[in-house]
């Protein structure tokens, strides 16, 4: 089979989705499944289709178009505020948009008016991670202004943590969001039903039983797709981690020294190189370079194989201790982490292949 390729195990992702969504459901939380790390690939959409998620969410309008083309009967959410110029496209392809600025809301309202629709927005509040969101002391005022725009419905409030600042979701942060929602509700008279507490990083709080009752939505990508607790990358209970595999083919296999011969300068990417002398090693080159996947974000399935590094087109691996013998033409399997999956999914050089029925 062709390499490099990404094997997407639909049945395994579907299993993870059901597990995570039922954990959330047991505490009154509905899940928007986040598809961006796999560019909303149709195989992922098939895995999510019957999983019980109530919405599909993505940060890119391109990907939302893909979701529409797949013909799934689920509402969509645009996770990243569009530039005002992209508001017409956002209104066309998303049912909800997460926003944090009045200017965005105004552009969305105008675009919705032109299209003859009412667009739903969720006001993001920054409770400390310092990525998107209005500062809490301005939330009531901003929501009140936005609620007066003619073609929008403010569906509720949301927040996002553990992305830029690495801030861990806590009961206090979630209570702050619920309280702000209540204040905005009183100020506007609108129900502001949706309270979207965050992403996969909120699941440990949920599992601890400390999630306040007012939180009724989470936007989950990684915990479903890769089965990870994103606070420490340990396996998330009830999920599997072998949902997607990256496969490369060996194009060279040679015994070589572990330290380069000659005076060394910078490598192909401007880094200074360091090597430990481990003597002669059996080394292989896979047809997987940085154009295909981030080499530090993929882990060989064979525990005896080690990734040494990569240039644009060559992945150098040490196969001296490989449990399965390899030769030129052998396939090597890797499990990607989030960054590895993001890079492989978005690389036009990596063939995507779906396996397993949900």
Q: Which residues bind ligand PLP (CB under 6 A)?
A: 34, 36, 59, 79, 98, 160, 199-200, 219-223, 230
Which CB, 158 or 295, lies closer to ligand PLP? 158
CB of 338 to ligand PLP, least distance (A): 7
Task: Based on the residue annotation, tell me whether 36 is a catalytic residue of this protein.
Answer: yes
The catalytic residue among 36, 120, 173, 352 is 36
Minimum distance from residue 228 beta carbon to ligand PLP (Å): 9
Give the separation between CA 107 and CA 111, rounded to whole angstroms.
6
* Paired tokens of 222: 């990684």
**Given the DSSP bridges, would you call strands 280-286 and 55-58 parallel, antiparallel or unpaired?**
unpaired
Rounded least distance, CB 130 to ligand PLP, Å:
14
Give the DSSP letter of residue 86. Answer: G
- What letters, b where the CB count within 10 A reaches 16 and e where it falls short, cover 258-297? eeeeeeeeeeeeeeeeeeeeeeebebbbbbbbbebbbbeb
CB contact at 8 A, 211 and 197: yes
Nearer to ligand PLP, 79 or 180 (CB): 79
Q: Which residue number, 42 or 158, has a Cβ lying nearer to ligand PLP?
A: 158
Q: Given the complex with ligand PLP, which of 7 and 222 has the nearer CB atom?
A: 222
Helix (H) or strand (E) holding 68: helix 61-69
Asked if residue 292 lies in contact with residue 334, where contact means CB atoms within 8 angstroms, the answer is no
Shortest separation between residue 331's beta carbon and ligand PLP, angstroms: 28
Q: Which residue is nearest to ligand PLP (CB)?
A: 221
Enzyme catalytic residues: 36
């Amino acid at each position: 089979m062709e390499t490099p390729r990404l094997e997407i195990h639909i049945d395994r992702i579907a299993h993870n989705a059901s597990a995570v969504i039922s954990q959330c459901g047991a505490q009154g939380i509905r899940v928007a499944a986040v598809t961006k790390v796999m560019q909303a690939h149709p195989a992922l959409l098939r895995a999510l289709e019957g999983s019980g998620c109530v919405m599909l969410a993505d940060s890119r309008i391109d990907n939302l178009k893909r979701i529409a083309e797949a013909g799934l009967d689920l509402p969509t959410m645009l996770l990243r505020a569009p530039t005002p110029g992209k508001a017409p496209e956002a209104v066309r392809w998303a049912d909800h948009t997460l926003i944090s600025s009045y200017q965005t809301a105004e552009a969305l309202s105008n675009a919705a008016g032109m299209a003859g629709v009412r667009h739903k927005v969720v006001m993001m509040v920054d409770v400390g991670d310092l990525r998107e969101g209005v500062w809490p002391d301005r939330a009531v005022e901003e929501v009140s202004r936005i609620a007066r725009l003619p073609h929008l419905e403010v569906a509720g409030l949301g927040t996002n943590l553990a992305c830029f600042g690495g801030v861990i979701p806590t009961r206090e942060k979630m209570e702050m969001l619920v309280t702000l929602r209540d204040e905005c509700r009183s100020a506007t008279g609108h129900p502001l039903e949706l309270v979207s507490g965050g992403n996969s990083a909120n699941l440990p709080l949920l599992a601890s039983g400390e999630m306040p009752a007012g939180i009724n939505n989470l936007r989950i990508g990684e915990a479903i797709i890769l089965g990870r607790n994103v606070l420490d990358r340990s396996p998330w209970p009830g999920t599997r981690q072998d949902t997607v595999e990256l496969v490369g083919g060996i194009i060279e296999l040679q015994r070589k020294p572990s330290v380069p011969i000659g005076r060394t300068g910078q490598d192909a990417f401007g880094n200074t190189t360091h090597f430990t002398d481990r003597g002669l090693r059996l080394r292989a080159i896979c047809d997987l370079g940085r154009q295909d996947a981030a080499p530090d974000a993929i882990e060989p399935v064979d525990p005896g194989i080690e990734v040494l590094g990569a240039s644009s087109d060559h992945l150098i691996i040490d196969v001296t201790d490989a449990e399965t013998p390899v030769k030129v033409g052998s396939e090597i399997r890797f499990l990607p982490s989030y960054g590895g999956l993001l890079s492989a999914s978005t690389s036009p050089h990596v063939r995507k292949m779906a396996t397993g029925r949900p």
